[in-house]
Structure 1
């Protein structure tokens, strides 16, 4: 390994000044370092092919940081938060993008460390990962990362990543109301945006709606039951409220015209969480027909105390309780008979899903009547 004398000297001076992070621009052949005083750069003077020279540069950095030229230990479970090093920030001195990703996934991530990671590698996946950390959401970096993801959304092509980004940036305190409204409006053209809203802001979607026509006559009684521990009454009151009716209408919009299988699966998972109080035993894995049959028995079971308490005061709610129970079973089990046999998207997928989504959306609309 023979770095040019000029590069060797500059690297050693840079390292002696205890940089906070290092990144390498391989296309321009420049090494950048972040320090308390700002940013410095070292234009490289290769003595061989660029690719080999960059390898030597990284070996020099690795020898300084880890005591070995072998570089970032890729066998570490970096994306599971399992970093076997005393100071995770040391990895930011390797000039390795994957090492920066490992720090972003670290359980030891702080707001200050997130600032250094972001300087080392501005990347949408890095931003999403760091915004899963409550300390980052509450810190100075939270808003910066959220702003980046909002600006990057037009370039995202995968539904799952769009949903994840929207869900994460909608966490409290990250965006101002104007930006939230703009994201909501994008859902009119691309309803995958709505799935993130349904997950993160279920009770405060940014639109106007009216409560169910039965809400006023039932709210006092349902709230009294909920105060006495009836979680099902609490869910029913939530669903009948103006916020709940808007949530149902939005779920309907998503599932009436989903773009691909990821949108369907994500929407169903969000629905399972929303209606979970109607299924305290945990998530189901069943077809729509199986859920319908089981829900009928569940409502009629005299031993089902929570249901019977509601029906004693509001016997007309049997069909709505039935719907709550079916929807609480939302999940892949419902669409497995279709998705297990096809990878269709768009119009063809929606046509194949009709036997599942038509009755499913019927239950959604029943709760709006």
Structure 2
């Protein structure tokens, strides 16, 4: 068995090593090594002298020896922590990992807290995947840099390909909204996708509950809420009856009426709990006093207060006992959670009614 590269490949790689390499990747299907330099891309057609997989191992060993000073190739033990953001590597070491043409090394860079906008650009050139785009957009330095728009545009384009992958939709929409680089038109485009798959709505409720696209009309009796200082019920009613509040509740009802997977239910109920936090965080005695004061001034809001009491009592923990006993999804899951979800939907219907 030949343990050496062909003289032609060894010569070409040594020439590359004398340039300012930024990243390296290998196209195994065409047996081509690609290198990124300040002058652009360079390619090296490989000429195997043995079985392709063994030959590529030799190539990667040579790359690793140059970049990491490790003649045995990319350290296998690194794969244990690359996906756990525990590398603790410096920016210089991350740059070296992008020169070994190993996917796990790229993933280590993507997960690292030391990632920079420049390194994100090189890592993206090495491995442009949805997962890597999501991970890198979670870094503020990337969102605020030149790669923010590039990654967001990629995710918008590929969101349609997630089809029925609700977890993928949840994660993708969340990182795009978190990035802050979306235009108003792009936000509306993503929001409209909720018409066909309501999991697109969930991240909006979690991250931008008071800035939802296409807000609905306010309830006409919003002006009838009495102005009571430091009264959490009157403050929460003002929020609920506003256009944004009505949109939040309508969207929550749309999701809970037909969720497809358990994660969508959990995220939606927790988003609802966070939205109701100003009232949830008040102790029962204070809530009772505030409720009495409000109803003394405006008794017509009693059904709304009762509905609010229903909403503030729920979160993901409400359905946890059910989900601990089943892995059901779709229609079977909806039947199992109906006793927990129906009161929420009924309360939302009360809060969305026009007097």
- TM-score using structure 1 length: 0.85
Q: Does 1:262 align with 2:260?
A: no
Q: Does 1:97 align with 2:103?
A: yes
Q: Deviations over 1:66-97 (max 9, x none)?
A: 21124144255223322243322211111111
Q: Tell whether the 8 Å contact from 2:137 to 2:179 is kept in structure 1 after alignment.
A: no
CA distance in 2, matches of 1:38, 1:21: 11
CA distance in 2, matches of 1:147, 1:303: 46
Deviation at 1:311, TM superposition (A): 5.6
Show the counterpart of 2:43: 41
Q: Deviations over 1:225-251 (max 9, x none)?
A: 3xxxx6665444322211011110011
Deviation at 1:12, TM superposition (A): 1.4
Show the counterpart of 2:170: 163
CA distance in 2, matches of 1:104, 1:325: 44
Show the counterpart of 1:71: 74
CA distance in 1, matches of 2:118, 2:103: 18
Q: Tell whether the 8 Å contact from 1:111 to 1:135 is kept in structure 2 after alignment.
A: yes
Structure 2 spans left out of the alignment, 5+ residues: none
Alignment of 1:203-218 (within 5 A): 203-218=210-225
Q: Tell whether the 8 Å contact from 2:232 to 2:287 is kept in structure 1 after alignment.
A: no
3-state DSSP class of the match of 1:28? coil
Query: Does 72-81 or 41-50 show the bigger shift?
Result: 72-81
CA distance in 2, matches of 1:14, 1:133: 31
Count the aligned residue pairs: 346
CA distance in 2, matches of 1:203, 1:303: 23
Show the counterpart of 2:146: 140
CA distance in 1, matches of 2:197, 2:307: 27
Show the counterpart of 1:80: 84
3-state DSSP class of the match of 2:44? strand
Q: Deviations over 1:258-292 (max 9, x none)?
A: 122222122122222222223338xxxxxxxxxxx
**Cα gap change, 1:361 to 1:124, in 2 (>3 Å):** same
**Cα gap change, 1:323 to 1:169, in 2 (>3 Å):** same
**Cα gap change, 1:329 to 1:61, in 2 (>3 Å):** farther
CA distance in 2, matches of 1:26, 1:272: 49
Q: Does 1:249 align with 2:260?
A: no
CA distance in 1, matches of 2:182, 2:255: 23
3-state DSSP class of the match of 2:20? coil
Q: Does 1:342 align with 2:344?
A: no
Query: Does 353-362 or 311-320 show the bigger shift?
Result: 311-320
Deviation at 1:173, TM superposition (A): 4.5
Deviation at 1:343, TM superposition (A): 2.2
Deviation at 1:49, TM superposition (A): 0.9
Q: Tell whether the 8 Å contact from 1:232 to 1:277 is kept in structure 2 after alignment.
A: no
**Cα gap change, 1:35 to 1:348, in 2 (>3 Å):** same
**Cα gap change, 1:65 to 1:235, in 2 (>3 Å):** farther
**Cα gap change, 1:233 to 1:36, in 2 (>3 Å):** farther
3-state DSSP class of the match of 2:220? coil
Query: Does 356-365 or 210-219 show the bigger shift?
Result: 210-219
Structure 1 spans left out of the alignment, 5+ residues: 282-297
Q: Tell whether the 8 Å contact from 1:184 to 1:193 is kept in structure 2 after alignment.
A: yes
Q: Deviations over 1:306-346 (max 9, x none)?
A: 66665665565555445445434433322233323322222
CA distance in 2, matches of 1:29, 1:210: 60
Q: Tell whether the 8 Å contact from 1:273 to 1:328 is kept in structure 2 after alignment.
A: no
CA distance in 2, matches of 1:211, 1:336: 34
